[in-house]
Structure 1
Amino acid sequence: MDENVDGTRLFLIGSAASGAMSPGLWNPVLEQLGTSWRYEAWDVPKGFPMAGVRDRLLEPDVVAANVTMPHKQWAAGSADTTSEQVRLSGASNMLIRTGGTLTAYNTDITAVGELVGRHQRHIVMLGAGGAARAALVALQGQADRVTISDRDAETAGQLLVLAKGLGFAAESALWPEAQRQALHASLIVNATPIGKRPDDGPVWGGGRLADDAFMYDYVYAGHVTASITAAREQGLKCADGWDHLRAQAAAMIPLLNLTPRAETLLKSRVTLLQAQS
């Protein structure tokens, strides 16, 4: 990133970016590494004029931007160059400026591949946005069957098209049916905001999961989500939002040309933030 030597600012772009942990994760790490970079939250609501966002990201003081809900598909489409993972998923959670161009990456995909890492007999995907797209690309060729559900039927349909294009034996289901199927699945992915509130129940609605189930919850919060609590009480394998936050941040290190020491610092910082929340 030699062309970005004057850049000092990294952004998190999303509709609720100011409530995210990423600035609190990255800023102490960047300081310990001796960089002059600062990581800033930028709330960009749905429907905001995104052409202005792209123009801002091309200014010389910008290094890169993470992108979260609901703009991951916009990020993939707005980039000048995309990684193969972004091309497959149609979603990006990271834009890096190089001169006057933006390159799109998806470190969510790397994180899911690292944390799940085994063949699945049946995936139930609850939620169908950018996070769900990343999970499907990460698990391509590693599942016998996938069921997709979202409260927005159009969004679910779009993910179904992607899943079939990736070679999955895929189907869509209405929300109550998908929750019932989750009870028998080997992997349940929560790609929704369910769990952000302390009074939210498990994303599948409750009940005992299969003995070989893996619960993957993208949500991180100042409490353990009900989905993770229920999976742990059953003795099941799981990855929570903090695990995902660490893994996707670690995948950013080589893309930003940071020293490998950054990964150790990130792990320590995630542990501290989790303990404080």
Structure 2
Amino acid sequence: METSTEAFRLVLIGSAASNAMSPGLWNPVLLKLGSGWTYEAWDVAPDGDLAVVRGRLLEPGIVAANVTMPHKHWAAETADEATDAVRRSGACNLLVRRGSGLVGHNTDITAVDVLLGGQFQRHALLLGAGGAARAVLVALGGNVGTVSITDRDPRASEELVDLAASFGIDARKVTWQQAQDLARDVSLVVNATPIGKDASDRPAWGGDPLAPDAVLYDFVYAAHTTASVARARGLGIRTVDGWDHLREQAVAMVPLLGLDGQAGLLLQQTLERLRAAS
């Protein structure tokens, strides 16, 4: 990885970055590795000046930046180079500094691929149509029969349907109520919304029974078990939660940052401690 000899800062860019788990996960690992690197959060509002943010990323000292909601599309656009996964999804969650430019990666896609294990999905229901949902769509590739997509922004749903069509996937836009009705018959339910961050939230799909072969993939991680995960487990359904996803996308960053191989194990151990303490 070509970075300045003064490079020592990893950052997280998002509208609520300072509330995220990532600094608490990465800083103990970086300390144990003796890298001299630190991980910090940059809160950037949805309407923030992203040109200024890009300029800051090109200042001396920056190694890379994780990018979270709602700036993953911007990250894909601002990258000077990008992986095929970023180009296909139009979303980027990791910008790695290379000389005077930024290289875009999407470790969300890697994490989804690992956690779903390449299993064929006869019908996937995507609740939300942002960067996380795009990661699922790209990870599924042609390994899916039908995809139904809903989002509070109809235009976002339409864009994701068009993206799916470009992959040759049979996809359709549905209303939120239609999505709730479909949930009982699909093989994969993906919660790519913030529903569940509040302990009082109901299951994202409404809570009705799911198909016996269903998998719930909930991107939300919180100090509590989300209602979606709790309900799915109560139904005997396989679940992937936000902590699982956070672990795998972080581990996928290790080789991209040129870190020692033991960083992956340290990340898993640190995350387990954070989860137990939450």
The two structures share one fold, judged by TM-score above 0.5: yes
State the TM bucket, normalised to the shorter chain.
Answer: over 0.9
**CA distance in 2: counterparts of 1:21 and 1:72, whole angstroms:** 18
- The residue identity in structure 1 corresponding to 2:192 is A
For residue 60 of structure 1, report the CA deviation from its aligned partner: 1.4
For residue 259 of structure 1, report the CA deviation from its aligned partner: 1.1
Is 1:104 paired with 2:104? yes
Deviations along 1:13-49, whole A, 9 cap, x unmatched?
0000000000000000000011110000110001111
- The residue identity in structure 1 corresponding to 2:168 is G
**CA distance in 2: counterparts of 1:153 and 1:214, whole angstroms:** 25
Counterpart in the other structure of 1:276: 277
For residue 4 of structure 1, report the CA deviation from its aligned partner: 3.2
Counterpart in the other structure of 1:58: 58
- The residue identity in structure 2 corresponding to 1:205 is G
For residue 83 of structure 1, report the CA deviation from its aligned partner: 0.4
Alignment TM-score, normalising by the size of structure 1: 0.99
- The residue identity in structure 1 corresponding to 2:250 is A
Alignment identity in percent? 56
- The residue identity in structure 1 corresponding to 2:58 is L
**CA distance in 2: counterparts of 1:3 and 1:77, whole angstroms:** 21
Matches for 1:8-23 after TM superposition, within 5 Å: 8-23=8-23
Matches for 1:156-171 after TM superposition, within 5 Å: 156-171=157-172
- The residue identity in structure 2 corresponding to 1:265 is L
Counterpart in the other structure of 1:184: 185
- The residue identity in structure 2 corresponding to 1:199 is S
SS in 2 for 1:209: coil
**CA distance in 2: counterparts of 1:243 and 1:75, whole angstroms:** 23
**CA distance in 2: counterparts of 1:221 and 1:5, whole angstroms:** 36
For residue 54 of structure 1, report the CA deviation from its aligned partner: 0.4
**CA distance in 2: counterparts of 1:187 and 1:145, whole angstroms:** 10
SS in 1 for 2:145: coil
Matches for 1:25-44 after TM superposition, within 5 Å: 25-44=25-44
For residue 162 of structure 1, report the CA deviation from its aligned partner: 0.6
SS in 2 for 1:35: coil
Deviations along 1:195-250, whole A, 9 cap, x unmatched?
00000010001111000000000000010001100111111111000000000000
SS in 2 for 1:183: helix
Alignment TM-score, normalising by the size of structure 2: 0.98
Matches for 1:146-225 after TM superposition, within 5 Å: 146-225=147-226
8 Å CA contact 2:110–2:139 kept in 1: the answer is yes
For residue 160 of structure 1, report the CA deviation from its aligned partner: 0.8
SS in 2 for 1:102: strand
- The residue identity in structure 2 corresponding to 1:152 is D
Counterpart in the other structure of 1:127: 128
Unpaired runs of 5+ residues, structure 1, are none
**Structural RMSD (CA):** 0.7
For residue 168 of structure 1, report the CA deviation from its aligned partner: 0.8
Counterpart in the other structure of 2:246: 245
**CA distance in 2: counterparts of 1:166 and 1:70, whole angstroms:** 24
Deviations along 1:145-183, whole A, 9 cap, x unmatched?
000000110111111111111111100100010111111
Counterpart in the other structure of 2:76: 76
- The residue identity in structure 2 corresponding to 1:124 is L
**CA distance in 2: counterparts of 1:10 and 1:259, whole angstroms:** 16
Counterpart in the other structure of 1:136: 137
- The residue identity in structure 1 corresponding to 2:17 is A
| Residues matched between the structures, number | 277
SS in 2 for 1:144: strand
Counterpart in the other structure of 1:114: 114
